[in-house]
Structure 1
């Protein structure tokens, strides 16, 4: 077994007193102070996240857009430059290899950001699908670092960072799921208005050699604005409240997009893409579907806990995929894959929490939406 990798910002995390965990083959900060403090900082001010463990791939060539139309579930040939799109990389059976974000940087140049733990699988699938097409796939993960600033004052933090210059457009004109090029000191910087917290925010892609200076500049600029370093624990409760799926929990090779509520992500009108035939032939009528669950009290269902449709006895009709006591809402929330017959909003189900069945109500996702 190989030791987990560390990001270029690891020494900064150590200096801040972070606790670490192995996540996707990387030693990543779980928390710096407390999960709750970091969660609330993102909801009320801003959080500073190191997400350099994510994988990045460049796709270039005259057929880059057509290649992505074939390789992924979405449509990219008509995508405007400097826009971003959430998409899925499917296997031929229709199962999900990974969920990704695609950025169009130029007519013949795209950037794909994938999950750290799926880097090898994503790379293999992308390269294999590029054969015989004028599209070159390059894994640039080791060349870049990725830093996220998330929360209501995220834009103010970036605007106060004086060494971020030469923006292609002002940040207040940058729409959600759009990107802009800029400079940090002398280095190229990509700023995207994307995130994984349910709050407004930005993700910044920078050459690895400039990442420490950018982290320090953001931290200094945000010192009086409520910017707080935040780890994986708060990132997980934030994304859960926002109803955002996590690969290995809500998404997997055994799950097709419609089960996870992501049928809209698949451009089924395309004549051909990898996974199309599998989706058209795979029966999903009785397959479990993703729902939200809310309950009272303080005892939260966790990933793997069984879900029942009766208070006693009976067979399990589903399983929790992610769950926590919501720091923002103050009560337990969970996402679960359950039988379609038990998926209607308002249905009462029961979560087996260490031998006690706790009633929970099916609810639409997300659990939390920001106010503006």
Structure 2
């Protein structure tokens, strides 16, 4: 008996572009960046940080947790989760603002640990049968999609919802600042003049199932991941581990590198990530297909990044055209030829590739196709 296929039956998001996946996709394809100076400061320089904040939320700091608010905004757009469906949650920081409040002496409204409260909120909002937390750093939601797809293909579950959520906070800003990873200006993924990343925030959801439904967006054809353990925060500079993950995903989907129409890259804007990804793509493909990063539009949304990419990648495959690489002036030498400032025509192919990388050497590759 053949293994069940894995269909993508729903995708939605709340991001710096506002409420809805349609606004995210329309903004990116229009060449509009939602990045702007935020109220958060770089603790090392005192400069205001550029970032992508959800416009429907107050930019000021208060005692309401932004991650919780984004999930409520997402749920207000409807509950796509079938009854009795497990939710796979990916978040890097949860409601870290609770800990910030405790250390600042403001007091915390949490009566339970903040992750426990976050899980309880998702259970209530989406009527989840259970919530499974997967921690994969900035590759988290890609890993969650891969894990859920694996369980569906093995017949262990019929459907799954995957949620990724992370908010901008002082804790996150301080952490990335200590790594000298934050750009003092708008970020420029894959650019020779890129000076680092801009933080973003988002909540996103996708529903996977072994059965298609009306409006099915596509399929998850293959998936693979690894952890190279090269460094606590930096990827292996040669790109080999990410290339190995891509090749493993291709093998699972019974596809060849030339079957890939385009690539939704992690593309953070940091020298470490962008040069590593460029090297990985050149190792995997004789001539890499068009690649794009969405982070010049919405910022680095941490654990939500993989889900945002999934939705945009499926749209790129449908349109046969990538969104532009926003803010790009001159591509890195290693990315020249497959990364351009403007929108690019996808190659004829059977799938699109979406990749993410995270701290501790996490790498994940997803192959997405039409239903």
Q: What TM-score comes out, normalization by structure 2 length? A: 0.28
More helix by share: 2
Structure with larger Rg: 1
More strand by share: 1
Q: What TM-score comes out, normalization by structure 1 length? A: 0.28
